[in-house]
Amino acid sequence: MSQSEFFDDVWGSDSEDNNVIHKDIDKLRDQHSKRGYLDGIVGSKEVNLQQGFDEGFPTGAQLGHEVGLIIGRLQGLNYLYGETDEELAKSFKDATKELKISHVLNKHSFDENYNLIDNFHDLVNKWKLITQKYCEQYNVKIT
Amino acid sequence: MDFEENLLKLEEHFYQEGFEEGQNENLHNNFMEGKQFGLQVGFQRYVLLGQIVGLCDILDSLDLQNIMLTKNIASVRKLIDGIEMNNDEKNVEQLEKTLVKLKNKFRTILLSFQRLTKDRKLKKHLNFDDVDDLSRMIGGKMQTFVEDEDVSEAKTTQDQMHEW
């Protein structure tokens, strides 16, 4: 049964009554549709945020792991050889500044959908190469 | 069907209409907001794991000829290898459990290392707190994505930190 059929059935159908009915329907629509709209915004926000979160998480994890590897290797090397190798000590200090989260998760490395551009991160790659050089120098096997 | 029943159906219909409209509103923006936050939390959770592997690489390179140390390092590597990098409920739970074991094992590794290298006259001991502090400094507190290169004046796309 359509809305008008329903109201015709209940209230009859002469035009004066119809105007009142339509006003009532508009009021009803306004009231319930607004409530639904608000619930829809609040409810879906959580779902959409969670879906986005799950999509971003693995890339963040991968970058965090790579940065951690670099920092751990440089920290270990600096601990062992930093007192006699000034360049190494400086590199370690620079890496701890440059590889902070705020520099790695920077918009310049991502496209508008927060995907890594060409699946490559310039800054992380730069430090991977620097660390690789020190690992070769101090005979550290890395895979 | 009586009048009240019909009225209720109509109210539900209007509610649903509004709900769907609200659901589609900001869908993309909310998704992107969540994605930024996922990148951040993923990064923060895995820095320490990578750092531990990196330090194990250095310890292995010293070839200290100690069976327990070698065994513990292998065990730490195995634990970390077994962690998947996604936010599935099971993995998050597993990660929490593994982290406790991992931290304890790595503490033991660092203590053995100190003992084995006490004759080397190295500067102060490398202890777990040094490792953990550095990891926290790298993963830091960051609200969300940084828009500007100049971090001191960084503008973020979101003002508040969400609790997940």
pLDDT digits (tens, 9 = 90+) for A89-134: 999 999 999 999 999 999 899 999 999 999 999 999 999 999 999 9
Alpha-carbon distance B77 to B157, whole Å? 37
Instruction: Tell me the range of A116-125, B22-31, B80-89 where mean pLDDT is highest.
Output: A116-125
Search chain A and give the residue with CA nearest B154: A102
Query: Mean pLDDT, to the nearest integer, of B72-84?
Result: 94
Write the CA distances from A75 to A70, A80, B27, B46, B52, integer angstroms.
Answer: 8, 9, 43, 17, 10
Half-sphere exposure of B11 (CA within 13 A, CB side): 8
Is the ipTM value over 0.90, yes or no? no
pLDDT of B46 reads 96
Q: What pLDDT, in 10s, does the model give residues A54-99?
A: 999 999 999 999 999 999 999 999 999 999 999 999 999 999 999 9
pLDDT of B23 reads 83
Query: Mean pLDDT, to the nearest integer, of B20-46?
Result: 90
Residues A87, A131: contact at Cβ < 8 Å?
Answer: no
* B86 near A CB under 8 A: yes
Distance from CA of B47 to the nearest CA of A (A): 4
pLDDT of B146 reads 57
- B57 → closest Cβ in A39, A62, A140: A140
Alpha-carbon distance A85 to A115, whole Å? 38
pLDDT of B163 reads 33
pLDDT at position B152 over 70: no
The dihedral of CA A93, A98, A102, A105: what is its sign? negative
Q: What interhelical angle do B128-139 and A15-81 show, nearest 10?
A: 140
The residue with greater pLDDT, B53 or B1, is B53
Token pair, residue B16, equals 């649903």
Q: Please tell me whether the overall predicted TM-score, pTM, comes out greater than 0.90 for this model.
A: no
Q: Which alpha helices (DSSP H) does chain B contain, by range?
A: 3-24, 27-61, 67-81, 89-116, 128-139
Q: Could you tell me which of B142, B129, B128 has the C-alpha nearest to residue B43?
A: B142
The residue with greater pLDDT, B52 or B8, is B52
* Confidence band, pLDDT 50/70/90 cuts, at residue A4: low
pLDDT at position A16 over 50: yes
pLDDT of A1 reads 52
pLDDT of B156 reads 38
Query: Mean pLDDT, to the nearest integer, of B57-67?
Result: 94
Query: Mean pLDDT, to the nearest integer, of A7-31?
Result: 74
Inter-chain contacts counted by CB atoms under 8 A, chains A and B: 288
Query: Mean pLDDT, to the nearest integer, of B149-163?
Result: 38
pLDDT of A45 reads 83
Alpha-carbon distance A76 to B40, whole Å? 25
The total number of residues shown for chain A amounts to 143
Find the helix or strand (DSSP H, E) in which A95 lies. Answer: helix A86-98
Note which residues in 19-58 of chain A have CB less than 8 A from chain B. Answer: 25, 28-29, 31-45, 48-58
Residues B110, B121: contact at Cβ < 8 Å?
Answer: no
Residues A91, B73: contact at Cβ < 8 Å?
Answer: no
- B140 → closest Cβ in A54, A102, A107: A102
pLDDT of B131 reads 96
Alpha-carbon distance A49 to A42, whole Å? 11
